[in-house]
Amino acid sequence: MGLALASLFLGPEIKVVLSNSRVTKLGERLRDGVDDATLLTELEAYRSEFEPAYNRVVRILQEQLFLRVTGRFKSTLSIVEKLRRGSPRLAQIQDIAGCRVVVNSLGEQERVVQSLRAWFSDVKVMRRTIEGNQGYRAVHVLVKIDGRTIEIQIRTLIQNYWASISERMADIHGQEVKYGGGPAALQTQLLRLARAFESAERSNEAYALASARLAHAKRQTASSAEWKLLKDTRMRSKSEYQSAMRKAALVLADKTLRGL
């Protein structure tokens, strides 16, 4: 189904230019510290090969799914740094070309994921959770089209807000902050904030769901016991949301996350 939809909308695929063996050798030389002008020019040429696939993906997101998209290409410097941090092969770097979609809620985030599954036949979904990602949360969807992998980051508003704080801290303390490095106190506060935001977000979703069920129960003339259960669930979710946001406010007020 995904192949049919994408093919109908986008037309024939674009052929890959560089062979896998050539890309592998390029990555090995860059990883080993060779970064002369010729290699960097070749890397830029490889990077530019992602543009047609990227443009095709963005067209679907914007014109068919009606999403607001922010795009970006990983710079040649960032690619070299990633190789030297331990990425095994250049061809295995999955975020050379990517874009970001920011949605209002966890429910909307999941609906976008399902829409991408419908539109593309080769899709891999990776759910980034706090554990193992230094507090970062999002859903990353890897779409393979025209022989190239395009990464689509899907964040909720609150996930995107946390990521913007992390980026700002990385600008102040060094890019290693995004990978668990930098001041230990900063990492502690970023994790505290991420957990508070996650709790608030899930509680808010539960509150919205309970409110919708209450409205439905009212129309269906629910029993008093069911009505009470739904009201209690909504009130509990609201209380948990408020508690989590108070914790988040305390962390945000700390001088560590204000760059002081």
pLDDT band at 14 (very low <50, low <70, confident <90, very high): very low
Q: Are residues 19 and 146 in the same domain?
A: yes
pLDDT(3) > 80? no
At 219-255, the pLDDT tens digits run: 777 788 888 888 999 999 999 999 999 999 999 999 9
Q: What is the mean pLDDT of residues 43-56?
A: 94
Q: Are residues 93 and 50 in the same domain?
A: yes
Q: Please check whether residue 175 lies inside any domain of the structure.
A: no
Please give the tally of structural domains in the chain. Answer: 2
Least confident of 2-11, 93-102, 189-198: 2-11
Q: Are residues 130 and 227 in the same domain?
A: no
| pLDDT score, position 190 | 96
Q: Are residues 74 and 15 in the same domain?
A: yes
Query: What is 18-65 written as a DSSP string?
Result: S-HHHHHHHHHHHHTT---HHHHHHHHHHHHTTHHHHHHHHHIIIIIS
- Select from 117, 140, 157 the last residue of a domain: 157
pLDDT band at 35 (very low <50, low <70, confident <90, very high): confident
Query: What is 84-138 written as a DSSP string?
Result: HHT-S-GGG---SEEEEEEESSHHHHHHHHHHHHHH-SSEEEEEE-STTTTT--E
Closest to 42 measured CA to CA, from 60, 29, 33 = 29
- Select from 157, 173, 199 the last residue of a domain: 157
pLDDT(4) > 60? no
Q: Please check whether residue 173 lies inside any domain of the structure.
A: no
Q: Are residues 194 and 98 in the same domain?
A: no
Q: Are residues 118 and 198 in the same domain?
A: no
Q: Are residues 40 and 120 in the same domain?
A: yes
H-helix or E-strand spanning residue 181: none
Q: Please check whether residue 165 lies inside any domain of the structure.
A: no
Residue positions annotated with a catalytic role? 151
Q: What is the mean pLDDT of residues 204-211?
A: 92
Q: Are residues 207 and 144 in the same domain?
A: no
pLDDT(202) > 60? yes
pLDDT(72) > 70? yes
Q: Give the SS3 label for residue 146.
A: coil
pLDDT band at 216 (very low <50, low <70, confident <90, very high): confident
| pLDDT score, position 124 | 97
| CA triple 133-87-166, angle to 5 deg | 30
Sheet of strand 97-103, all strands in order from the earlier edge strand to the far edge: 69-73, 97-103, 148-156, 138-145, 123-128
At 115-125, the pLDDT tens digits run: 999 999 999 99
pLDDT(91) > 70? yes
pLDDT(178) > 70? yes
Q: Are residues 107 and 201 in the same domain?
A: no
* CATH number of 88's domain: 3.30.460.10
Mean pLDDT, rounded, of the chain: 90
Its pTM surpasses 0.95: no
* Domain range for 225: 183-258
Q: Are residues 139 and 216 in the same domain?
A: no
Q: Are residues 143 and 14 in the same domain?
A: yes
| pLDDT score, position 17 | 65
Q: Please check whether residue 200 lies inside any domain of the structure.
A: yes
Q: Please check whether residue 170 lies inside any domain of the structure.
A: no
| pLDDT score, position 168 | 94
Q: Please check whether residue 105 lies inside any domain of the structure.
A: yes
pLDDT band at 147 (very low <50, low <70, confident <90, very high): confident
Q: Please check whether residue 163 lies inside any domain of the structure.
A: no
Q: What is the mean pLDDT of residues 171-199?
A: 94
Q: Please check whether residue 135 lies inside any domain of the structure.
A: yes
Q: Are residues 208 and 247 in the same domain?
A: yes
